[in-house]
Structures are given as structure tokens and as C-alpha cells.
Structure 1
């Protein structure tokens, strides 16, 4: 995160004055920002000279000394409506059965030309049926927590949707978090099944104490000394439509672990309803249409593509090291496949954009770029935009594993309006709420807040905690009641999630990100 010299607006809005109008703010002094309320950067984080932002700069542990008496205090809403996320993919099978769903780089010929293999939407549906029958026969059924450690590939897509079809619960971690943290997450999941490539099974054997709850393990590829089944062995040879499990909207669909970059990794429970809300929100907000071609450089977001009706082009890259991607391979995939949409981290955007600008490369098919995972600087956006058509847009949605996307802003507004204020130290504008998401800025606290009250909300212009509510917001962590206590606020049947970030709202409804709450200091 970039440090900011100044990150606080005045309280003028509370008195009816305007905050950050396009023509009215040139500097903190000209706008009458009180000297005592400015945020100044420090090596350890954000400090508040007026003392309104307090506490130590050490990371705050969610587990040390705060707990709820009842583990189920944040149990899911009562909603008996049936919903299985795999049925969204099946709808696209009906609409475009012969359209390519997944495109994978299979190799190169003697002239260096890349060759692709693919599955159509119909083939993906059938392949996941083959696997679903096999998974059920192997003992992986509705509710079975199943660690999935497979590289982005045709099998990765088919296996994931097969798990959804049987009603199993994929457990997915980001291998980029490092081996020690990853193994810790897998142990905490108490999974009953393990599906992975050979190196993943070798990891399992190297840390046997972390996988004591496993009953079934399946190797994708060559099986060595660890025994168990292989994907080839369980895959049913004769096709038969698999009856999708009648899961409910509030039934657990997957457990995704946070990266742990801002605290201990936690298992985020995704329900089928939460996945559905995310997909609807992404489709509506970014105007994604069936038949588009996506280049998802983060595997998890690639899984949305079959449900969105987009073709997913798997890039030739190590997804755990986006900053070291070979730009030529990303550009080649975009040009070869006529990619219209790309999801990329800021690090990848910067590397590919720098190369493309230097080589004067143009990407005429690419009309939309979505970049998330870290703050995206205006200079990074400007650099990559030099390769795009004039009507293309780079979107920088804000969110977290627990809630995504929450806020969003486009490159045109960033470069024309908010960039100058970020450079003056007002923070980084992360946009307005996406669709029906509610966002409030509340008083900063390190303590649990059991019940929501509008009295928590601070005036526009004041810095506070960013909190969000909506159907795509996670309601609880996996077996982490202490973390629930610190991150969740109940309001009737609804849950507000505390993002762990500080920010403020301007008079246009935009949120400005100021940094992590646990990085703040008092002077």
C-alpha cells in the first residue's frame, strides 16, 4: 500500500459544505483542512495527530482474548429455496452448448506456434458428470469437505463443478501464501477428502499430522507411493447425466481461505447463495454478456466464467507469481483468442503494461480489464490503458475474500477526477457501492460490536472503519467464533462485515481508502 502524506478530509460536509468537488480542491490548505485532523504517513502505518485514530501498530489477533459463548451466533439465514451454483453453468449449456467454455494452452509446434485444447459448455457439463459419478462412488458426497489442489486446467474446471454437483464442499487455498500457512489452513479445514496433483500429495505425506481427518484421497496425474485412487480410475467411462444435489441457498458451497497477508488466514464460508449473488453482481455491474472471452489470471475468478457464460482462456503463467509473468505470453493469449475481458492483479498489470507500452503493442479486442487484490495506482492504469481501445475501461473493484465486489471505480473517473486528490494525500478512491451493496463508515474500534446501531456511523468526511452488508457478503468464518465476534455485526437477520480497512465517504458517495485498521498508530 502506498503511504499517503495526507489522507483526511475536513468535517465540512457535516455542516452542509461540499467535500472534494471537482473544481474546489487544490490543496489541503486551500480547502481548510484543519492541521490537527490531517493523517500523516509513517513507517509503521497511519498516524492521527488529533488522536481520533488510536491503538498500537501491531497486528491485532482475532483469536487471543475475545470470544462468543455460542459458536452458532452467526448461523445462516433460514432460507429453504433450492440453489446449486453448478446450475448456472448448465443454463449456459442450454444457451450456447458448442461455445468454448475453457481454452487451455496444450503446447507448441516446431515453428513456435501455440496449440490450444478446449471444452465446450456441453463438454464441460458432461465431463463434470463423469467425474461427479466417480466422486460419489469414491465416497465424496453432499457436505464432504474436499481439499482441491489442482493447477488451472481442463480438469480443474470439471472437478470443481463436479464437486458442486454432488454437493461437496471444495476447500481452496492460495498456494502463494507459502507452504507453512497453507498447511495450517488445510489442517484447520478438517477435510475428509483430498484431490490433488502429485506434488500436493507429496506435501500431504510430508505433513501427515495435518491431514489426520482424511478418508479419501485422489491423485490427478501419476500416483506414487501414497496409495489411494486416481482421477482416471474414478472417472465414469459411460456418460450419464448426474442428478445435481438439491442444495439450498444457505448451504455451504466452498471454504476459501484468506491469504493471511493482513492477519492469520481464516476459512471463509461461501454459500451457494453467496456465489450466486457474486455472479449476478459481477455480470450486472460490468455488463458482461454471454459469448465474451475472458483471460482470468487468478484461478478462483476463472471458476466464475462458466457461470457467467464467458469462455475462460487459461494463461500460460504461474498464478502465484503474477509480478514475474512473461508479458509476451499474456499478450499472445489476448491476441490469439480475441480476449474481451481480463482479470489481473496490479502486479501483473504493471508488468504487462510496461512491456506493452515499450513495444507499442495494441490490444484491440480487449474492452474491459478488472484489476483487484491490491490498490491500483493511477500511473499503472494509465500505462496499461495505452494498449487499449479508446472505449475500453479498466475497473478497480474493492473487496476481500469475505465480500467481493463491494465498491468499484473505472479508469476514466480515476484519471480525470480522483487522481489529483490521491496525489495530494486524500487516500485512494475505491469508488461507489456495487449494485445493492450497503457501505457505511463507522467509529473505529478494536472491540467486538454485537448489535448494529446507526449511532456507529460517522459523518461524511470523517475517517472510520469500512463496513458492508449485502447478499454477497460472508456471514461467518469456518469454526472461528472469535474472528466472527471481531468482524461481524448483527442487525436483525442481517450481518455487517467489518472490512478491517479505514476510509471516508465524500459528498458524491465515493469511498476513499486510507489503509489497514491494524496499521494505524497514535502520536
Structure 2
């Protein structure tokens, strides 16, 4: 059940296969890089695990982990698993105040980070009351703590990786907090094992493929799947600002077969592909998750791919992933037209391993799943899921756990996604928006994705946001639009007003740019827009 065992298995079956490629700089012939085999990565992670044990860091210890994608990132993460520790992952881009709050909540005893992170920890007082040990990748601050180089010299002789139980905590992954407070999701070893299996089988990933992951946590699947990881030289906290020409160069030079990117990154990349007439025939699949993918993005990527290749949009959340999936070629046509007509966004069929229910919308906790009432077919409700990747609690967040989890008569945990949607007559799920972002007027309830779909289909509209002003039950709906670059926003007001008239929306506003989440640069922060309009 320990995901680190999957890395060791790859080191046995393909010891000299390339696990990591770290491009350093462009050359006349392509890229200069550093490469590491599966055997090298596995041996390094074992030495680091032994070093952790020799430093007195015991199984079950919570370890804050702030190392950017690199050899050290992969080696240390698998070392923590081998040592039985519990890494705590927090997106550094969520902001200094939320970051400090998350670290205080997680109470890590060990802090592993690059020098910059260690300085910030000291200056800003991160986890001051709990951190007892530090390990620094790079120069140490004031010569305090242990150096990564020292840890790397761990003596393998006598080191035995502790056995883990499938129910043992494996990691704490904090949500982005894009529609609420960031929460630490407790992952058990069985959750990671199930994720690797579901991702591999759902997308038919094969050992020996080459992956270009632009979202660091997803890259951790690669060594377990036997895939080669190419780490792009980019700012991972700003995926929308990525250099698309650099990505194209990496894809072509390293014969990349799998690309993972947020919808914002895919928008940037596909615009570049279209503008320059570039095709990417070597790609087998593209994955995009974290927020809905606009139909225009799907259409653009299709023009760059071979007919046998496709883009897939897995649906899920930090608390359970993947839940459902749909291919881009299925989305185009009728399903994309459904989005433009206000039906929401189709996120596909639930994976066979999952059970999905759509229940009546409620903001109250539901302890027993049997108390939740299913809605009628085609009716919009709250999406709930039970399956092997469904986590069962938030760390030190009992109220949020009660609000998001249900238990059925068989003792199985169901996660309430906090998403609204419906199922069509072919069993496909349609996403209609976040429950917390629905607009409740005196006459009706409006759902973000249903209203925004027809608006986003208007030429000149880059994206839109439905928000409600006032108290729930008496809210005034407002549609806010962000124009395409170079488009005069005043020319969009009347077409948008016509598109939303059926919902009784009269007020249309424009903004030069929307506030979005840091992790994916794609989830619109509608609460901030509403506050700005109030």
C-alpha cells in the first residue's frame, strides 16, 4: 500500500530507464539537461529515508514540505513515504496569512524546505510552536538544522523501511481555499494506491511514456506509473503566464506523450498553437483539471493533435480524485452546445470504481447517507461520491468534516462535493457550479455554470462570472464579463444582456481581469467580485 513501493518496483523492472529529466537551458540542438534513472531515484530516496531515521524522525511524524519541483522534490517525497512520515503539502501561492494559518493547524514537527522557505519560516513565525527540527535544501539559515547533503549520506546498512497499514495517514494535502477556507485533507496510504490504479487504468498510461506535468502534485504519479517526468522550467504558481513556446519546445525535443495542465495553462498554450499553426502529433493524451475547460480550448487543442489523440478532463477534488472523466472528442458537438444553451458543463461518466448520487441541495450536515434524498432524474442537486479515493476527514477540522462527509449503513464514507449538477439519460454528470456560489433571489436559484455558459459563447467574451448581491433569498443577480484582449467591453453589454434575460438578470458589469485561484489560475473568485460590486 505504500506508494514508495511502486518506485522500488520500477527500479527493479527498468533500473536504467529514465525517471526524471530536468531541462536546464536551451541549446542549438534543443535542451541541455540532467537525467536520473529509476535506480538512482530509488537509491537516493532510500538514503534520504535512512537519513531521516538516523536523525530520529520517526514514522507518523508530520513534516511540512516546501521544495519546488526538482530532483530533491521527488527524492525527498518518496523518502518521507519510505520512512513512514506524513508530508504536509500547502500551496505556497495561497498567500502568507493563509499559509501561516495552515501550518499552525497542521502542527508539523519537522520543516523541510529550500533556504528561502526557511527564512520565511523564521521571519514570519510559521509553525513556531510545533517545529522541532529543520532540514534545508541549499545553504542553511544561521547554520541551524540539518543540511540536505547530510541527510543524503544516510547509511543504508541496517535501515528497514517500516511497514505501513492501508489506513495509516500518508499525507496531509491542503485544498486551495478558492471557494472557502483551505482545509487539510488526510490521505491514507490506500487512497494514494487507489489513485495510481485509477489514473493508470482510466487513461491507459504505460511504462516508458514521457510526461510533461505542469502541476507538481500530479507529477508524483509518474514514478509509480513508470513514466519519465520532464520538469518544465516555469513558475508553477502562475500557470497562466507560462511561456507556451517553451512548452512546445519541450514536447517536441523529449517526444512527450502525456501533458497535464490547468485550464488556464491550456488556454495560453492552445492560443499559441493556433496563432502559429503548430501541431503536436506525438502527444497521445492531454489532461486538464482544476476547473471547467472552455469548449473553445478543447476545439483548439484538437486542431493540434492527431485524430487518435485526445484531451481528457477528469472531474474530482482534493478530497477525492478522479470521480468522473470525459474525453474532448465526446464533449465537442452536442455536449458543447448544451453548455452554450445553459445546461452546465458535462464532466463525463463516473468511473466504475465510484458510486455517485445527486441529492437535494442542503447547507446542513447530513450524518447518515440514508437521510439524504436523491433528486429526480435531470434535476439539479448536490453531487456526492463514494469510492476508493474518497478521503474521510479534514485534519483538525471537525465541523468541516461533518459538513462534507456522510456515512452509510455499510460504514462507507461519502463525500459531498459541494458541487451542484445533474445526470443525463446516458448517466453522464453535468456540473452546474459550486453550492456556495449559487445565487438565491426572491423567486429562484441561479447556478453559475448554467448562466455563464451562454455568455462565454459570445464572441469577444473571454469569461464571465455570475454573482449575487445582498442576503441569500433576496439577492440581486449580476453578470460580470472579462473581455478578450483588445475587445471594447461596451460592445458586449447588449449581447450579454440578451443572453441572460431569461434568468431575469438586468445588471451587466465588466472587469479588465478576474481574480482567480493561485493553484490553477482558473477558478474565479466570485466572492471577491461580489464584494467589489457591493
Give the TM bin, normalised by the shorter chain. 0.7 to 0.9
Q: Could you tell me which residue of structure 2 aligns to residue 223 of structure 1?
A: 140
Does residue 467 (structure 1) correspond to residue 384 (structure 2)? The answer is yes
Does residue 316 (structure 1) correspond to residue 233 (structure 2)? The answer is yes
Match of 2:58 among 141, 145, 150: 141
Contact 1:129–1:240 (CA under 8 A) maintained in structure 2? no
Q: Secondary structure at the match of 1:269?
A: strand
Q: Could you tell me which residue of structure 2 aligns to residue 451 of structure 1?
A: 368
Contact 2:30–2:253 (CA under 8 A) maintained in structure 1? no
- 1:238 is displaced (CA, Å) by 5.8
- 1:214 is displaced (CA, Å) by 0.7
- 1:208 is displaced (CA, Å) by 1.9
Does residue 128 (structure 1) correspond to residue 45 (structure 2)? The answer is yes
Q: Could you tell me which residue of structure 2 aligns to residue 437 of structure 1?
A: 354
**CA deviations over 1:408-466 (Å, ceiling 9, x no partner):** 10011101330011100000001110231111100111111011117611111111000
Q: Could you tell me which residue of structure 1 aligns to residue 294 of structure 2?
A: 377
Specify every segment of 5 or more residues in structure 2 that has no aligned partner in the other structure, as ranges: 442-534
Does residue 333 (structure 1) correspond to residue 257 (structure 2)? The answer is no
- 1:362 is displaced (CA, Å) by 1.5
Q: Could you tell me which residue of structure 2 aligns to residue 368 of structure 1?
A: 285
The whole-number CA distance in structure 1 between the counterparts of 2:245 and 2:435 is 38
The whole-number CA distance in structure 2 between the counterparts of 1:339 and 1:133 is 34
The whole-number CA distance in structure 2 between the counterparts of 1:237 and 1:434 is 42
Q: Secondary structure at the match of 2:111?
A: strand
Contact 2:24–2:233 (CA under 8 A) maintained in structure 1? no
Q: Secondary structure at the match of 2:182?
A: coil
Contact 1:442–1:456 (CA under 8 A) maintained in structure 2? yes
Between 1:267-276 and 1:233-242, the stretch displaced more is 233-242
The whole-number CA distance in structure 1 between the counterparts of 2:280 and 2:159 is 41
Q: Could you tell me which residue of structure 2 aligns to residue 100 of structure 1?
A: 18
The whole-number CA distance in structure 2 between the counterparts of 1:226 and 1:521 is 54
Contact 1:118–1:154 (CA under 8 A) maintained in structure 2? no
Does residue 245 (structure 1) correspond to residue 159 (structure 2)? The answer is no
Contact 2:87–2:171 (CA under 8 A) maintained in structure 1? yes
Contact 1:205–1:226 (CA under 8 A) maintained in structure 2? no
Q: Secondary structure at the match of 1:348?
A: helix
Q: Secondary structure at the match of 1:217?
A: strand
Contact 1:102–1:312 (CA under 8 A) maintained in structure 2? yes
**CA deviations over 1:488-517 (Å, ceiling 9, x no partner):** 001131011000010011110011111110
The whole-number CA distance in structure 2 between the counterparts of 1:210 and 1:241 is 33
Q: Secondary structure at the match of 1:253?
A: strand
- 1:112 is displaced (CA, Å) by 8.0
Does residue 493 (structure 1) correspond to residue 414 (structure 2)? The answer is no
Q: Could you tell me which residue of structure 1 aligns to residue 326 of structure 2?
A: 409
Shift in alpha-carbon separation, 1:277–1:224, aligned structure 2, 3 A: same
Q: Could you tell me which residue of structure 1 aligns to residue 466 of structure 2?
A: none
What aligned pairs does 1:495-514 form with structure 2 within 5 A after superposition?
495-514=413-432
**CA deviations over 1:85-125 (Å, ceiling 9, x no partner):** 1111111112211111111113345x584211121111110
Match of 1:196 among 113, 120, 144: 113
Shift in alpha-carbon separation, 1:220–1:209, aligned structure 2, 3 A: closer
**CA deviations over 1:138-161 (Å, ceiling 9, x no partner):** 222200100110010011100000
The whole-number CA distance in structure 2 between the counterparts of 1:512 and 1:309 is 33
**CA deviations over 1:469-499 (Å, ceiling 9, x no partner):** 0010111111111011100001131011000
TM-score (norm 2): 0.80
The whole-number CA distance in structure 2 between the counterparts of 1:112 and 1:218 is 38
Contact 1:342–1:370 (CA under 8 A) maintained in structure 2? yes
Shift in alpha-carbon separation, 1:512–1:361, aligned structure 2, 3 A: same
Contact 1:350–1:384 (CA under 8 A) maintained in structure 2? no
Q: Could you tell me which residue of structure 1 aligns to residue 3 of structure 2?
A: 85
The whole-number CA distance in structure 2 between the counterparts of 1:274 and 1:199 is 32
TM-score (norm 1): 0.82
Does residue 257 (structure 1) correspond to residue 174 (structure 2)? The answer is yes
Match of 1:168 among 85, 91, 100: 85
Does residue 291 (structure 1) correspond to residue 215 (structure 2)? The answer is no
Match of 1:272 among 186, 189, 203: 189
Match of 1:211 among 105, 125, 128: 128
Between 1:291-300 and 1:91-100, the stretch displaced more is 91-100
Q: Secondary structure at the match of 1:394?
A: strand
Shift in alpha-carbon separation, 1:308–1:518, aligned structure 2, 3 A: same
The whole-number CA distance in structure 1 between the counterparts of 2:58 and 2:25 is 35
- 1:211 is displaced (CA, Å) by 2.5
**CA deviations over 1:186-230 (Å, ceiling 9, x no partner):** 111000000000110011011226322111101101113261111
Q: Which has the higher contact order (CA 8 A, sep 6+)?
A: 1
